[in-house]
Amino acid sequence: MMDISRFTNFLTSLSDICRWQFEVWDGSVRVFTTSPGKPRVGGRENLAVTIIRKNIFQVETGSKKYLAGAPLRSDGMPIGALLAWNNGFPNLSPADPVIVEPFLQHITEILEGGWTASADADKMAEELSQNYEDLHIYGRLSNLIRTVPFSVATFEDLIGEIRGDLHADLVFARLNSSRNNQLIIKDDLLNNRISDTTGFAERLIAAIPEQAESLKEHYFIVNNSRLVPGYGELHADPYRALLITIQNDRKFYGWIGVVSFNMNQIFRRSALRLIISIAEQVAIAVANTDLYNDLEQFSVDMVKSLVQAIEIKDTYTRGHSERVNRFSMLLAERMALGKEQQAHLQWASMLHDIGKVGIAETILNKPSALTEGEYDQIKTHPTKGYSILEPLAPLAGAMPGIWHHHERYDGTGYPDGLKGKDIPLLARIIAVSDTFDALNSDRAYRSGRSVREALEILESVAGTQLDPHIVRLFIEIVHSREDCREGEEGHDTSKDSHHAIG
């Protein structure tokens, strides 16, 4: 129905000035009159319907009756009628339509111009509101995309947000990266018309014409599945689909797809731009994640090379670093350490003995007890390790674990003689794992102790050499895991003698 609320005062004032009455009709429905309760001429409804149907000016005259009307148009099409009449003016003649028609046309032009301006203002306000909403959505989703590494869980959150913001029935992402080849789907569980969402999504992608012109702009759109070859047979009900490429520097990573069964709407151009922008950011995030993973793998390989360098020099510690790392990460899991602390512990436990590359092989592989001077040399390996690794900024969080892993809980350890909880947590965890593996491993001058004997010794030094709480957790872990209770005896490797107890 037409909204003329902005013009009622204008028509009322005009009626008072010219002594004519005015009515606005929307089809057969009167939406406004300047003559409530006043005498009215007959035939107004029929004349309004005729004017709207024929889209022309009409006039009816008779005894003490003069009724005229003109169409109200929007984009050239009639949407209503403006009627005007005058009761009791016998001086009007048949020639008066020549005067009345332009008069009414001027009034309708004023109304139509006002409607157009109002519609333009409303449209502009709606576009500004939508642009603000899109900007808000993009800003919120960008915060998810910036996460590195860009995980599957993050992508699932992103797809869910897109589905909610666009009120879609189904949103999916098909990833085809070197490390991630999977389909992520978020659908409307309360109104799901698709029984096989995975198959449906895959078929949507497969049906995209390879030569579609819109793919040059990284999208393919289906406004009505029944009108696009290859899509009507995918579902009995008509649907809309928007498929966006995830692409960066011509490197293709996959698709983002949006599906809706609401055929009363279309995909807005702003929504298309929004999803394209999001897809571009996702592609950058995936590329950065690939680079991050490459760098992380390089770091892992570098650590393995450093560990191998230690084992080449000290033949009795082969496998020691990996076992200390495994025990330490089991403790981290039991202690519910955060991801960042676990990452630091991962490096520290693998590299805790890296300083041994600076110790003479004759000392490291000596089959008998060390002299005091030789033991003093062994005691420098934590600080030597720190010096070796200090230039590597990504390992900064692991350095306290490397520097302090030979501190004792009673304060008599080295290099700084820290005591109790003043010893960094990572170092206290590594100390327990390191001591157990030293006891449980073979050395040149003795066989490794059994798991039971090693645990008994750990208990005996809890509170003096080692953190008693971590020792208790370690024992619980060993008792609960077959791979810790069995197969850990008789290694051909050994911890150096400064950690051998008993």
The DSSP line for 214-237 is GGGGTEEEES-GGGSTTTGGG-SS
Beta-sheet strands, E only, within 382-497:
none
Instruction: Return the SS3 of 33.
Output: strand
Q: Determine contact, residues 347/388, Cβ cutoff 8 Å.
A: no
Domains defined along the chain, listed by start: 8-116 (3.30.450.40), 146-286 (3.30.450.40), 314-499 (1.10.3210.10)
Give the residue, 65 or 429, on which the prediction is more confident.
429
Instruction: Return the SS3 of 43.
Output: coil
Beta-sheet strands, E only, within 177-313:
181-187, 219-222, 240-248, 251-260
Task: Give the rounded distance of the alpha carbon of 355 from its chain centre.
Answer: 42
- Could you read off the pLDDT of 252-265 as tens digits, one per residue? 888 999 999 999 88
Residues in the chain: 502
| b/e burial code for range 317-340 (CB count within 10 A of at least 16 → b) | bbebbbbbbebbbbbbeeeebeee
Asked if pLDDT for residue 220 goes beyond 90, the answer is yes
- Helix 339-351 / helix 269-313 crossing angle, nearest 10 deg: 30
Give the residue, 400 or 28, on which the prediction is more confident.
400
Distances (CA, A) of 247 to 131, 149, 177: 24, 17, 11
- What is the average per-residue pLDDT within 291-317? 76
Asked if pLDDT for residue 416 goes beyond 60, the answer is yes
Give the residue, 468 or 156, on which the prediction is more confident.
468
Instruction: Give the span between the Cα atoms of 159 and 173, in whole angstroms.
Output: 7
Percent of the chain with pLDDT over 70: 82
Cα angle: 349, vertex 355, 358; to 5 degrees: 160
Q: What is the mean pLDDT of the chain?
A: 82
Q: Determine contact, residues 263/286, Cβ cutoff 8 Å.
A: no
User: 58 φ, ψ to 5°?
Assistant: -135, 150
- Could you read off the pLDDT of 223-250 as tens digits, one per residue? 999 999 999 999 999 999 999 998 887 7
Q: Determine contact, residues 197/172, Cβ cutoff 8 Å.
A: yes
- What is the average per-residue pLDDT within 434-454? 85
pLDDT of 316 reads: 64
Q: Determine contact, residues 178/267, Cβ cutoff 8 Å.
A: no
pLDDT of 495 reads: 36
pLDDT of 200 reads: 93
Residue 487: pLDDT band with limits 50, 70, 90: very low
Instruction: Give the span between the Cα atoms of 304 and 314, in whole angstroms.
Output: 15
Max mean pLDDT among 3-17, 174-188, 339-353 falls in 339-353
- Could you read off the pLDDT of 144-195 as tens digits, one per residue? 566 656 677 777 877 787 787 778 899 998 887 655 567 788 776 556 788 8
Instruction: Give the span between the Cα atoms of 432 and 457, in whole angstroms.
Output: 11
Asked if pLDDT for residue 63 goes beyond 80, the answer is no
- Could you read off the pLDDT of 278-293 as tens digits, one per residue? 888 888 877 877 787 7
Instruction: Give the span between the Cα atoms of 112 and 114, in whole angstroms.
Output: 5
Q: Determine contact, residues 165/247, Cβ cutoff 8 Å.
A: no
Q: Determine contact, residues 110/22, Cβ cutoff 8 Å.
A: no
Residue 341: pLDDT band with limits 50, 70, 90: very high
Instruction: Return the SS3 of 260.
Output: strand
pLDDT of 94 reads: 46
Asked if pLDDT for residue 382 goes beyond 70, the answer is yes
- What is the average per-residue pLDDT within 43-58? 89
- Could you read off the pLDDT of 96-106 as tens digits, one per residue? 556 778 888 88
Residue 318: pLDDT band with limits 50, 70, 90: confident
Asked if pLDDT for residue 16 goes beyond 90, the answer is no
Residues 6+ apart with CB under 8 A from 502: 439, 449, 457
Cα angle: 93, vertex 94, 95; to 5 degrees: 90
Instruction: Give the span between the Cα atoms of 381 and 374, in whole angstroms.
Output: 12
Q: Which of 333, 334, 353 has the alpha carbon at shortest distance from 437? A: 353
End-to-end Cα separation, the chain, in angstroms: 96
Q: Which of 453, 460, 491, 483 has the alpha carbon at shortest distance from 330? A: 483
Lowest average pLDDT, out of 81-95, 220-234, 409-423, goes to 81-95
Asked if pLDDT for residue 206 goes beyond 90, the answer is yes
pLDDT of 101 reads: 81
Single-letter code of the amino acid located at 229 = P
Instruction: Count CB neighbours of 385 within 10 A.
Output: 25
DSSP letter assigned to residue 411: S
Instruction: Give the span between the Cα atoms of 299 and 347, in whole angstroms.
Output: 10
Give the residue, 343 or 153, on which the prediction is more confident.
343
Asked if pLDDT for residue 469 goes beyond 90, the answer is yes
pLDDT of 502 reads: 27
Give the residue, 362 or 398, on which the prediction is more confident.
398
Instruction: Count CB neighbours of 118 within 10 A.
Output: 14
The two structure tokens encoding residue 185: 């789907």
Alpha-carbon radius of gyration of the chain: 41
Max mean pLDDT among 51-65, 200-214, 308-322 falls in 200-214
pLDDT of 59 reads: 84
Give the residue, 440 or 36, on which the prediction is more confident.
440
